[in-house]
Structure 1
Amino acid sequence: MKLIIQIPCYNEAETLEVALNDLPTHIDGIDEIEYLIINDGSRDNTVEVAKRWGVDHIVNFKQNQGLAKGFIAGLDGCLRCGADIIVNTDADDQYKGADIEKIVRPILNGEADMVIGARPIDETEHFSYIKKKLQHLGSWSVRRASNTNVPDAPSGFRAFSREAAMKLNVVNDYTYTLETIVQAGRENIPMMSVPIRTNAELRPSRLFKSMWGYVKKSILTILRAYVMYKPLKAFTLISLPFIFIGMGIGIRFLYYVSVGRSGGHIQSLILGCTLIIIGFLIFVIGILADTIASNRRILQDVQFHVKSIEYGREPRMEAPLFTEEREVLKRIK
């Protein structure tokens, strides 16, 4: 059983060694532990620090690609290196390395394929009051969108089984944390959270430049992920106000017709019909989007099996499939 711990890095020369020194070298149930960094176009000597420390693998970007692309590139690198379990942590030593054992244990025990470390947000001193409330609000929104009970959605301290890592896709350029939870929840990937601890802040977060920017990008990421995985429901909800308002205006016009006062209300009839047509068109777009989503699920399944072949290991099965059919084929042969 091989564990690879990956760390996305962008100009992390000052803090990387601190984070690496905090990582575990032995975990019961794990035969090998290796370390991988994703150098996301760093302009300092991040790579030199990693090599001097003895990092096993380095994924290099010539220029900064962003956290989401770096995360996916790291998963791909870990899978190519034969990882059975992948842990993602930060280069600023935000999370305690000793808690890696806590987040890999449910995977080792077969309880989950994706484990998220839940930080003690209310007890974290370097989080402002507003940031704490926004963290809770963001996690609540992700729980609603993903149909899960994840208490700390923005946490980047995560563990993935090999199968879960091969199924994940991130299409936004901002962050992987929110979208992967929505995907895992909607694709029924076994997922759970465990409480973890955090270290003192070594440097300010670089993920967002302002609180408003963080909120705006997070909302867009959640909405986009939800529409991607539940398009028919999303577009139906958008279409209903147009249809109901249009029908209300139409019923109002019919009332005036019934009492002989329809004159002067033709404009409202036109408005009502326009709103109903708009609502119907939005609903049709939802049907088309749902069809596209079905094709996307087929492509994801194909991608999963292609990755299984490419990385040289077939996915584990819960139980043998088609046992009776195989026995029949053996007898025929």
Structure 2
Amino acid sequence: MKLIIQIPCYNEEDTLAVTYTDLPKQIDGIGEIEYLIINDGSRDKTVEIARKLGFHHIISFKQNKGLAKGFIAGIDACLHLGADIIVNTDADNQYCGADIEKLVRPILDGKADIVIGERPIDETKHFSWLKKKFQHIGSWVVRLASGTKVPDAPSGFRAYSREAALRLNVVNEYTYTLETIIQAGHNKVAMTSVPIRTNPETRESRLFKNMWAYMRRSASVIIRAFMMYKPLRFFSMCGMIIFLLGIALGVRFLFYYFGGSGEGHVQSLILAAVLMLMGVQTIIVGLQADIIAANRKILEDIQYRVRKIECNGRGR
């Protein structure tokens, strides 16, 4: 059983050594452990330090491409290197390396294909009160969109079985954390969470400039993923809301019309007709999007089969 621990890096010369030292050197049930970094266009000595520390594999981008691109490039490389389990962690030593054993245990026991580390958000001192609340709200929204019970959706500390990794596909360029949960929930992948520990903050997050920017970007990712994987439900909900608003305005017009003052509310009748028509059209768009989603499933299955043949041929 081969485990590869991947670490996306961008200018991490100050924290990479601490993160590396914290990684496990052996785990019961794992015969081989290797470490891989994805150098996302770093301009410092990240790669040089990684080589000195003894990282087994280094993937380098010539320029910064973002967390999502780095994550999926690492997953692809791990698959080609023959990984049976892939663990993703951060280069700033946010997560306790010793808890990697907790992450891989459900996979080793055959109980799950994806395991996500649940951080003690309410007890994390460097998280503001507002950030804690937004983390909980965001995770709740992802649970609704994915039909899962993941308590800490933004957590980047997670493990994938080879089978789950082969099916991964990230479309957005911002982050992989939310979209992959919605995707896994839609595809009925066995997923669970385990409580993990975190270390004191070593630097500020580079993923977003402030909390509002994080909320805006995360909301766009969730909405886009919901539209992709459950388009009929999404557009039907939007269409019904618009249609019901039109019905409400139509009832309002009829109330005034039968009251003898309908002539002064013709605008309401026109707006009601427009809203009802828009609602029906939105539902029709949902039906069309659902057909496209069915085709996407076929393409994802083809991608999975091609990736499996390719990776098994090179890594095994």
Same fold (TM over 0.5): yes
Are the structure 2 counterparts of residues 136 and 262 from structure 1 closer, same or farther at C-alpha, using a change threshold of 3 Å? closer
Question: Which residues in structure 2 correspond to 1:6-21 (within 5 Å)?
Answer: 6-21=6-21
Are the structure 2 counterparts of residues 274 and 91 from structure 1 closer, same or farther at C-alpha, using a change threshold of 3 Å? same
* Counterpart for residue 213 of structure 1: 213
* Counterpart for residue 60 of structure 2: 60
Shift of 1:268: 2.4
Q: Which amino acid aligns with 2:180?
A: T
Shift of 1:257: 5.5
Shift of 1:71: 0.3
Q: Which amino acid aligns with 1:63?
A: Q
* Counterpart for residue 193 of structure 2: 193
| Structure of greater Rg | 1
Answering whether residue 209 of structure 2 is matched by residue 204 of structure 1, we say: no
* Cα distance between partner residues in 1 of 2:208 and 2:261: 58
Q: Which amino acid aligns with 2:118?
A: A
* Cα distance between partner residues in 1 of 2:307 and 2:64: 26
Answering whether residue 223 of structure 2 is matched by residue 223 of structure 1, we say: yes
Are the structure 2 counterparts of residues 162 and 258 from structure 1 closer, same or farther at C-alpha, using a change threshold of 3 Å? same
* Cα distance between partner residues in 2 of 1:124 and 1:253: 55
* Counterpart for residue 273 of structure 2: 273
* Cα distance between partner residues in 2 of 1:188 and 1:233: 17
* Cα distance between partner residues in 1 of 2:264 and 2:133: 51
* Cα distance between partner residues in 2 of 1:253 and 1:120: 54
Q: Which amino acid aligns with 1:83?
A: A
User: Which stretch of structure 1 is more off in the superposition, 8-17 or 132-141?
Assistant: 132-141
Q: Which amino acid aligns with 2:59?
A: V
> Deviations along 1:134-174, whole A, 9 cap, x unmatched?
11111111111111111111110000000111111111111
Answering whether residue 55 of structure 2 is matched by residue 29 of structure 1, we say: no
* Counterpart for residue 326 of structure 1: none
* Cα distance between partner residues in 2 of 1:254 and 1:204: 59
* Counterpart for residue 180 of structure 2: 180
Are the structure 2 counterparts of residues 276 and 27 from structure 1 closer, same or farther at C-alpha, using a change threshold of 3 Å? same
* Counterpart for residue 91 of structure 1: 91
* Cα distance between partner residues in 1 of 2:210 and 2:123: 22
What SS does the aligned partner of 1:170 have?
A: coil
User: Which stretch of structure 1 is more off in the superposition, 108-117 or 261-270?
Assistant: 261-270
* Cα distance between partner residues in 2 of 1:211 and 1:41: 25
Structure 1: any 5+ residue segments left out of the alignment?
314-333
Shift of 1:75: 0.1
Q: Which amino acid aligns with 1:198?
A: T
* Counterpart for residue 75 of structure 1: 75
Q: Which amino acid aligns with 1:111?
A: K
Q: Which amino acid aligns with 1:84?
A: D
RMSD of aligned alpha carbons:
1.6
Q: Which amino acid aligns with 1:267?
A: Q
Q: Which amino acid aligns with 1:72?
A: I
What SS does the aligned partner of 1:312 have?
A: helix
* Counterpart for residue 232 of structure 2: 232
Q: Which amino acid aligns with 2:224?
A: R
Shift of 1:241: 2.1
* Cα distance between partner residues in 2 of 1:271 and 1:74: 52
Shift of 1:260: 6.3
* Cα distance between partner residues in 1 of 2:180 and 2:306: 20
Answering whether residue 49 of structure 2 is matched by residue 49 of structure 1, we say: yes
* Counterpart for residue 327 of structure 1: none
Shift of 1:199: 1.1
Shift of 1:16: 0.4
* Cα distance between partner residues in 2 of 1:94 and 1:256: 63
* Cα distance between partner residues in 1 of 2:65 and 2:238: 33
What SS does the aligned partner of 2:140 have?
A: helix
Are the structure 2 counterparts of residues 198 and 261 from structure 1 closer, same or farther at C-alpha, using a change threshold of 3 Å? closer
* Cα distance between partner residues in 1 of 2:118 and 2:246: 46
* Cα distance between partner residues in 2 of 1:12 and 1:50: 10
* Cα distance between partner residues in 1 of 2:104 and 2:176: 19
Higher relative contact order (CA 8 A, sep 6+): 2
* Counterpart for residue 317 of structure 1: none
Shift of 1:244: 1.2
Question: Which residues in structure 2 correspond to 1:237-252 (within 5 Å)?
Answer: 237-252=237-252
Are the structure 2 counterparts of residues 256 and 124 from structure 1 closer, same or farther at C-alpha, using a change threshold of 3 Å? closer
Q: Percent identity?
A: 64
* Cα distance between partner residues in 1 of 2:106 and 2:32: 18
Are the structure 2 counterparts of residues 271 and 93 from structure 1 closer, same or farther at C-alpha, using a change threshold of 3 Å? same
User: Which stretch of structure 1 is more off in the superposition, 91-100 or 130-139?
Assistant: 130-139
Shift of 1:312: 1.6
User: Which stretch of structure 1 is more off in the superposition, 44-53 or 124-133?
Assistant: 124-133
TM value normalised by structure 1: 0.91
